[in-house]
């Protein structure tokens, strides 16, 4: 691992004096940011305007990634790694679209992106009063949260009705101090137009992941389709390209250091307003244990697929996700440790409590909030070892996971209404069944077996007081080694057949238990302990949410107003200039990389196995109009001061005029604590330059028609 500098200066300032470029801001907060003073040429209502077309209308939510429309015919641009799952599902032995890429010569040749849906924001509304009214007078945090969840389901179901192309979400902001409704148009027919080969789209692989300087062409073109009646119908040959309200024009000018950029996208989750207890829990337990677990699973996947092309394709998406998260967590551990982040957080809280305790009224309201939060974490720690293994079953293979899910649906149905999980709906079950076949694209029996065996071994190693009693029927049978149990389970179960599995979601508990399926039996035997685990974590979540609201109130009492909410999968705005950064003492990183850097890294061996055609194009200076006169080369990627996190992958990066200049795809390793604390001096967004995207598309792939559609030829 590279030795890097991690500079984290804890400075939570909740006021108008926030760093100018900090924050993942809601679209309704843009008028607070003085964007014109920073150099923005657009008006705020040109970025977001519920009454007329705006930039926000071109932004797409892909679930775990972001994207944008770039033509009037539904052409969409996102990251290569955001299309990775769709490329995997389209691949077969002998046809590897991840490794070799894909280009549709005509629209009729475009490849169905199975499992991908594109959602476009239609409405955003504050519904705080309506949501909280449902829980008025309820003091118990768990019951209060259940009432809130039930109200949210009621409200969103009413909006969605039986319309498959409408998706409604009500999302908590500031730990439940505010609730916002987001309504989306959901398009279910997305197709791959052009994806570069892995040697461009993921050049540098795991080695370069989260690192700067970066030289990957992390992009893929897709197209969004709709039915002729403009509904977001499922895939059909009769569907037609979407006509978006707006699409992004491509910037003609090249970026230079200091230029303003801004991003609209869907960042996942941040924890900026958490306490030292949460930092300590993650630094000491969650991150190290996850790194260890994920490395074990990656090694397992690699070993069992090294001689199988089919196996490599099947596990590709799972492996990529594990590796990405693992390296992110490694970076967080390293940066938190080097910067003494936990102690900084503790010292900050001492200052906060000194202020709170200096005022009798504030002391009465918030004086014990940190102690109460600590008590919740202390209670959670009592069963942590067992809880961790129970959660590990999420990585016990597809068939074991299906057994738990099928049995869980049946158990939920048989509960009285007042005891049922408020988030359980028949509509949700139906959606699960409709998308069930997608899971089987990642099913490879040798790795599935090995993952189950691994988790069972972890369970069998638990101390006596923390053992999962529902699994003792496996471990107590000394005449049947664990390998035999696993092999017999896969031989006896029919869950490997998706058509067999689908109707099981309609069966009762009694009917399921009568099947004597080994995976459903395992789910039944462990159900009560898993429910107990869920109940304890629900109790923790409900109580910690209330206390975190108190903590936020204490911060506001100390520092004032102007707080942006933590990221939570909703559309956000962030802006800042193109800038390099100081990597270490006497080491300054420039903000641009070029095609020459791609060539310099080339070894001919994966993941630095650059396609020879790129070198030929560079040698001939056959750059078209995509070379930056200042750099005298094609720009590949750039760093800029924007505040992003996971989920922003594929987000459109725009210049001051609202023109597309790149796609965000990563953050820098030196700032891996960014989900916890923003650092203006160190945190950088890494984006692929639109000129490299277009150079590869035109000169490498010969896909001139894509550029014509974008109005560039």
* Beta-strand relationship, 572-577 and 581-584: unpaired
- What is the per-residue DSSP string for 613-675? HHHHHHHTT--TT-SBTTTTB-EEEEEE-----TT-TTPEEEETTS-EEEEEEEE-GGGTTTT
Q: Annotated catalytic residue: which of 80, 81, 84, 215?
A: 81
Q: Annotated catalytic residue: which of 57, 73, 208, 218?
A: 218
Question: Alpha-carbon distance 610 to 97, whole Å?
Answer: 17
Kindly give, in sequence order, each residue whose CB lies less than 8 Å from that of residue 293, ignoring residues fewer than 6 positions away.
392, 395
Question: Alpha-carbon distance 476 to 458, whole Å?
Answer: 15
Question: Alpha-carbon distance 588 to 586, whole Å?
Answer: 7
Question: Collapsing DSSP states into helix, strand and coil, what is residue 124?
Answer: strand
Q: What is the DSSP letter of 83?
A: S
583 in active site? no
Instruction: Give me the count of residues in the chain.
Output: 713
Cis peptide before 213 (omega within 30 of 0): yes
Retrieve residue 36's tokens: 């014109």
Give the DSSP H or E segment for 136: none
Q: Annotated catalytic residue: which of 649, 651, 674, 687?
A: 649
218 in active site? yes
81 in active site? yes
Which residue in 567, 591, 593 sits closest to 581, CA to CA? 591
Instruction: Report, in this order, helix, strand and coil percent for the chain, each rounded to 5.
Output: 50, 15, 35
Give the DSSP H or E segment for 186: strand 178-187
Largest CA distance in the chain: 76
- Give how far Cα 486 sits from Cα of 400, 408, 447, 496, 709, Å: 11, 22, 12, 14, 53
Retrieve residue 150's tokens: 């039930």
Buried b (16+ CB within 10 A) or exposed e, 481-500: eeeebbeebbeebebeeeee
Which residue in 704, 706, 648, 636 sits closest to 254, CA to CA? 636
Question: Alpha-carbon distance 509 to 524, whole Å?
Answer: 9
Report, as residue numbers or ranges, the catalytic residues: 81, 218, 649
């Amino acid at each position: 691992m590279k030795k890097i500098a991690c500079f984290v200066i804890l400075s939570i300032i909740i006021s108008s004096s926030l760093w100018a470029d900090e924050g993942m801001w809601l679209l309704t907060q843009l008028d607070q940011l003085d964007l014109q003073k920073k150099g923005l040429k657009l008006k705020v209502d040109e970025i977001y305007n519920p009454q007329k077309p705006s930039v926000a209308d071109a932004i797409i939510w892909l679930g775990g990634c972001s994207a944008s429309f770039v033509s009037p015919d539904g052409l969409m641009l996102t990251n290569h790694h955001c299309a990775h799952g769709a490329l995997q599902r389209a691949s077969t032995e002998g046809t590897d679209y991840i490794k070799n890429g894909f280009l549709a010569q005509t629209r009729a040749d475009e490849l169905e992106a199975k499992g991908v849906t594109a959602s476009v924001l239609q409405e955003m509304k504050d519904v705080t009063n309506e949501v909280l009214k449902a829980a008025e007078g309820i003091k118990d945090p768990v019951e209060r949260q259940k009432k809130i969840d039930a109200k949210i389901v009621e409200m969103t179901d009413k909006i969605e009705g039986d319309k498959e192309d409408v998706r409604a979400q009500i999302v908590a902001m500031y730990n439940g101090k505010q609730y916002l409704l987001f309504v989306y148009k959901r398009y279910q027919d997305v197709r791959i137009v052009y994806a570069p080969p892995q040697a461009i789209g993921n050049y540098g692989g795991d080695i370069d992941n989260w690192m700067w300087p970066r030289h990957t062409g992390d992009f893929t073109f897709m197209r969004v389709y709709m039915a002729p009646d403009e509904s977001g119908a499922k895939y059909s040959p009769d569907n037609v390209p979407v006509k978006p309200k707006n699409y992004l024009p491509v910037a003609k000018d090249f970026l230079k250091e200091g230029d303003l950029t801004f991003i609209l996208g869907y960042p996942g989750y941040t924890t900026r307003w958490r306490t030292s207890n949460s930092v300590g829990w993650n630094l000491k337990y969650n991150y190290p244990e996850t790194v260890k677990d994920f490395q074990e699973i990656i090694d397992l996947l690699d070993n069992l697929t090294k001689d199988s092309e089919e196996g490599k394709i099947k596990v590709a998406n799972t492996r990529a996700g594990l590796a990405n998260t693992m390296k992110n967590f490694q970076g967080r551990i390293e940066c938190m440790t080097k910067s003494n982040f936990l102690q900084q957080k503790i010292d900050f809280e001492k200052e906060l409590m000194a202020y709170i305790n200096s005022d009798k009224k504030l002391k009465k309201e918030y004086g014990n909030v940190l102690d109460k939060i600590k008590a919740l974490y202390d209670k959670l720690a009592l069963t942590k070892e067992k809880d961790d293994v129970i959660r590990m079953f999420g990585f016990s293979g597809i068939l074991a996971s299906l057994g738990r899910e099928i049995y869980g649906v049946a158990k939920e149905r048989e509960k009285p209404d007042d005891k049922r999980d408020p988030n359980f709906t028949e509509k949700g079950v139906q959606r699960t069944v409709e998308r069930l076949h997608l899971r089987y694209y990642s099913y490879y029996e040798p790795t599935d077996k090995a993952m189950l065996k691994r988790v069972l071994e972890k369970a069998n190693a638990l101390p006596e007081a923390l053992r999962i009693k529902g699994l003792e029927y496996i471990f107590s049978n000394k005449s049947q080694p664990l390998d035999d149990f696993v092999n017999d389970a896969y031989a006896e179960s029919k869950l490997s057949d998706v058509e067999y599995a689908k109707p099981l979601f309609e069966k009762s508990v009694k009917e399921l238990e009568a099947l004597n399926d080994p995976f459903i039996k395992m789910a039944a035997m462990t159900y009560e302990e898993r429910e107990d685990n869920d109940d304890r974590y629900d109790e923790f979540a409900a109580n910690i949410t209330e206390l975190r609201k108190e903590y936020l109130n204490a911060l506001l009492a100390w520092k004032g107003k102007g707080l942006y909410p933590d990221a939570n999968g909703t559309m956000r705005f962030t802006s800042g200039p193109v800038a390099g950064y100081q990597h270490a003492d006497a080491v300054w990183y420039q903000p641009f990389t070029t095609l020459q850097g791609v060539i310099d890294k080339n070894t001919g061996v994966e993941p630095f196995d650059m396609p020879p055609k790129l070198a030929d194009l560079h040698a001939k200076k056959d750059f078209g109009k995509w070379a930056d006169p200042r750099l005298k080369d094609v720009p590949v990627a750039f760093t800029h001061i924007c505040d992003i996190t996971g989920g922003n992958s594929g987000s459109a990066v725009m210049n001051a005029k609202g023109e597309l200049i790149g796609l965000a795809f990563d953050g820098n390793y030196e700032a891996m604590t960014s989900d916890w604390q923003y650092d203006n001096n160190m945190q950088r967004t890494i984006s692929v330059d639109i000129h490299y995207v277009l150079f590869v598309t035109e000169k490498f792939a010969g896909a001139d028609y894509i550029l014509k559609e974008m109005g560039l030829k």
